[in-house]
Each structure stands twice: as structure tokens, then as C-alpha cells.
């Protein structure tokens, strides 16, 4: 049972480049979410999804897009990377969302030069 899988683990981008961070879970969880973690800031919610075809914004959605075409996958897209998006990104999932514990992936460390 793999749980929540994120790829890649590390990525370096130049300003203006685009890329997609992948997240997949094999636990049949309805709820999936993306967080970014910056030093001293804890985790901040970027986007979340309560099921296939449904997405919504979190605390810091600007500069990021998401889609949820299947229950298993929840990719995060950076359309035009900026240095302010240098961070560690975590994907997390739970069975239904509210009131449930989150299962986290191991993270993607992204640097934007």
C-alpha cells in the first residue's frame, strides 16, 4: 500500500517556466489537498478537492492551478514559476475531508531561480 505518492522529489525551475507536480493516492480517498511549507510559516493550503471534478481554493491559491479528473490523482500546476514559489510542497488526502486525519506525501522541494 503506497499511500500518497508525490513526484518529483526535487525540482529546479527558471523564472517563467511551467511545471506540474504530481500527486496520487491509492486509498480511495475523496479529499485531496496541496500545501506549501516555508520556513517559520508552517503549512499553508493552496487548493483542495472533495471529489473528482470538484476543486476549490485554499489560503494561497494565486499562481497555481489544479484539476481532479480521477479520484486517485490531483496534480498541481505552476503556469509561470516565480522565485516566491520556492518552497516544499506537500500533497495530502483523507477519506472524506472535514473531521478526518490527513495522510501526507513525502513532499516536493521546488526551487525557482
Note whether 2 and 101 are within 8 A (CB).
no
SS3 48: strand
Q: Which is nearer to other proteins, 26 or 59 (CB)?
A: 59
Smallest separation (angstroms) from other proteins to the CB of 16: 28
Smallest separation (angstroms) from other proteins to the CB of 54: 10
The residues of the shown chain that bind other proteins, judged by CB under 8 A, are 4, 31, 33, 35, 40-45, 48, 50, 56, 58-59, 90, 92, 97-99, 101-107
Note whether 25 and 103 are within 8 A (CB).
yes
Burial class (CB in 10 A: 0-12, 13-18, 19+), 3: middle
Q: Which is nearer to other proteins, 13 or 105 (CB)?
A: 105
Q: Which is nearer to other proteins, 2 or 14 (CB)?
A: 2
Smallest separation (angstroms) from other proteins to the CB of 38: 10
Smallest separation (angstroms) from other proteins to the CB of 70: 19
Note whether 70 and 55 are within 8 A (CB).
no
Q: Which is nearer to other proteins, 63 or 104 (CB)?
A: 104
Q: How far apart are CA 47 and CA 82, in angstroms?
A: 18
Name the one residue in this structure whose C-alpha cell is 498541481. 76
Amino acid at each position: 500500500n503506497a499511500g500518497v505518492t508525490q513526484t518529483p522529489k526535487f525540482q529546479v525551475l527558471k523564472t517563467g517556466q511551467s511545471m506540474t507536480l504530481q500527486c496520487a493516492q491509492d486509498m480511495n480517498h475523496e479529499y485531496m489537498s496541496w500545501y506549501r511549507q516555508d520556513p517559520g510559516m508552517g503549512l499553508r493550503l493552496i487548493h483542495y478537492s472533495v471529489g473528482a471534478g470538484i476543486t476549490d481554493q485554499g489560503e494561497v491559491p494565486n499562481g497555481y492551478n489544479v484539476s481532479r479528473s480521477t479520484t486517485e490523482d490531483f496534480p498541481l500546476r505552476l503556469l509561470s514559476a516565480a522565485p516566491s514559489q520556492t518552497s516544499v510542497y506537500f500533497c495530502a488526502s483523507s477519506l472524506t475531508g472535514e473531521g478526518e486525519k490527513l495522510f501526507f506525501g513525502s513532499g516536493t522541494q521546488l526551487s525557482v531561480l
